[in-house]
């Protein structure tokens, strides 16, 4: 048998698909998205996707890789629920063309907007193998939906939450903090989350609003202290209600962490397709990050050295509940500086625990992650 035959191709078992359309554009959104038009239509997206798929196979095979049976799939956007029945069929065809089955044991997520779904559409996605949903609720205070230019009403949000609850579906809620006018209107995030929990989501992702200088409500943003207070209150509240604060912006019931996102945080390979979709391929040494162009099947490529990955790993480990293995940084010979930082961080309440082998951040530490990274750099620990 020659070498070529016995060499098994390595499989990439996670895939992100970016669906770029929304019914209406929220005024704060920083994702690539378009309202469908003659110049950018669903069929032009389908054509682009197919071209990217061909180019993608070449990129993978150049590295001895191919897509294998998927452990995780994430269809994000934009608003993938707008893709409808046609989208679920497109996905099915795409996967069967590659002999990729979605198995019972995998995690396959679709993003849903409360103003852009029907029972029929969700049923089609369920039939195509989707078994988890991520819902853009953002706020359950109706005053904020028009401020953000959301396409849906509060009644739409409740209808969707109720639907998922009644169908007993596994789903996550996107919830935003730091919204404009929060202070002047006295937004009560705990009251909103109390209502959300009645509908039994298994997972909550927090998004602290980030904006550009030109943002329409830039002058109405709350103070940093207000946002920090919201974040810490939410962390406390969700933890008291049985959720694990397992990553800076993510909370889950035990065992319901987002397996797809854990792949990013663990620096495992995640392939991507769709305009502006971003993938990462782990190499034997270093890695390779790529981002698809929005209008053609070319991509921006970013090779990552072993050193760059090592730094990312420190940052990503600190982002998660798993924490940073002390042995990963101690070997650099700057133990004294590290242990004095640990002492300082502990006294400031940034640490969940620094006992044993791993350094785990508290919610206060998560909030100050950037300054913790700065400390590690300044003291030449990483
Ligand atoms: C692709 S969207 C989720 C699905 C759907 N498009 C929706 O909004 O209902 C992903 C998340 O990104 C958040 N997001 C977008 N732009 C943001 C920004 N500038 N700051 C913070 N979060 C943002 C949204 O609020 C949303 O929950
Ligand atoms: S619906 Fe979601 S993706 Fe579309 S503009 Fe709003 S936040 Fe962005």
- In this structure, the residue with its CA closest to atom 1 of ligand 1 is 77
- What mean pLDDT do residues 269-281 have? 97
Tell me how far the alpha carbon of residue 133 lies from the centroid of ligand 1, in angstroms. Answer: 14
Among 20, 28, 33, residue to substitute to test ligand 2 (most atoms within 8 Å of Cβ): 33
Domain chopping of the chain, boundaries: 7-263, 306-382
Instruction: Verify whether ligand 1 is closer than 6 Å to residue 28 (CB atom).
Output: yes
Indicate the helix (H) or strand (E) that contains 347: helix 335-347
Instruction: Verify whether ligand 2 is closer than 6 Å to residue 252 (CB atom).
Output: no
- In this structure, the residue with its CA closest to atom 8 of ligand 1 is 136
Q: Which residues of 121-143 are buried (b: 16+ CB within 10 A; e: fewer)?
A: bbebbbebbbbbbbbbbbbbbee
For 215-271, what is each residue's pLDDT tens digit?
999 999 999 999 999 999 999 999 999 999 999 999 999 999 999 999 999 999 999
Tell me how far the alpha carbon of residue 33 lies from the centroid of ligand 2, in angstroms. Answer: 7
Whether the predicted pLDDT of 4 surpasses 60: no
Tell me how far the alpha carbon of residue 353 lies from the centroid of ligand 2, in angstroms. Answer: 37
Distance CA 263, CA 247 (A): 12
What the block records as the tokens of 188 is 């009560």
The angle, 0 to 180 degrees and rounded to 10, between the axes of the packed helices 224-240 and 189-197 is 30
- In this structure, the residue with its CA closest to atom 21 of ligand 1 is 209
Instruction: Name the least confident of 196-210, 234-248, 329-343.
Output: 329-343
Contacts of 107 (CB under 8 A, 6+ apart): 71, 72, 73, 131, 132, 258, 259, 260
**At the topology level of CATH, where does 7-263 sit?**
TIM Barrel (3.20.20)
Gap between the terminal Cα atoms of the chain = 46
Q: How many CB atoms lie within 10 A of CB 256?
A: 19
For 47-97, what is each residue's pLDDT tens digit?
999 999 999 999 999 999 999 999 999 999 999 999 999 999 999 999 999
């Amino acid at each position: 048998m020659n070498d070529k035959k016995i060499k098994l191709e390595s499989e990439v078992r996670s895939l992100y698909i970016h669906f770029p359309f929304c019914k209406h554009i929220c005024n704060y959104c920083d994702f690539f998205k378009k309202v469908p038009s003659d110049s950018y239509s669903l069929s032009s997206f389908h054509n682009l996707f197919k071209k990217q798929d061909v180019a993608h196979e070449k990129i993978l095979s150049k590295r001895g890789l191919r897509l294998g049976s998927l452990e995780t799939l994430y269809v994000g956007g934009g608003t993938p629920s707008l893709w409808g029945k046609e989208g679920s069929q497109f996905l099915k065809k795409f996967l069967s063309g590659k002999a990729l089955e979605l198995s019972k044991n995998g995690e396959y997520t679709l993003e849903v907007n409360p103003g852009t779904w029907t029972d029929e559409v969700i049923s089609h996605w369920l039939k195509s193998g989707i078994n988890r949903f991520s819902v853009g609720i953002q706020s359950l205070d109706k005053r904020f939906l028009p401020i953000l230019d959301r396409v849906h009403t509060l009644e739409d949000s409740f209808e969707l939450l109720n639907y998922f609850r009644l169908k007993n579906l596994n789903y996550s809620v996107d919830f935003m903090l730091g919204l404009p006018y929060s202070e002047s209107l006295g937004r009560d995030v705990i009251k909103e989350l109390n209502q959300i929990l009645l509908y039994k989501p298994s997972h909550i992702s927090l998004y602290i609003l980030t904006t550009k200088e030109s943002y329409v409500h830039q002058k109405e943003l709350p103070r940093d202290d207000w946002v920090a207070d919201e974040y810490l209150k939410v962390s406390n509240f969700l933890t008291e209600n049985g959720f694990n604060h397992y990553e800076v912006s993510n909370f889950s019931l035990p065992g319901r962490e987002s397996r797809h996102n854990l792949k990013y945080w663990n620096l495992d390979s995640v392939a991507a397709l769709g305009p502006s979709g971003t993938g990462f391929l782990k190499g034997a040494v270093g890695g390779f990050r790529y981002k698809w162009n929005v209008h053609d099947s070319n991509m921006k490529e970013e090779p990552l050295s072993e050193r760059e990955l090592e730094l990312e790993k420190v940052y990503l480990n600190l982002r998660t509940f798993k924490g940073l293995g002390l042995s990963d940084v101690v070997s650099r010979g700057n133990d004294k500086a590290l242990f004095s930082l640990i002492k300082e961080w502990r006294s400031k309440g940034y640490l969940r625990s620094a006992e044993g082998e791993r350094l785990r951040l508290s919610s206060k530490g998560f909030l100050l992650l950037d300054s913790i990274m700065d400390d590690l750099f300044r003291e030449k620990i990483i």
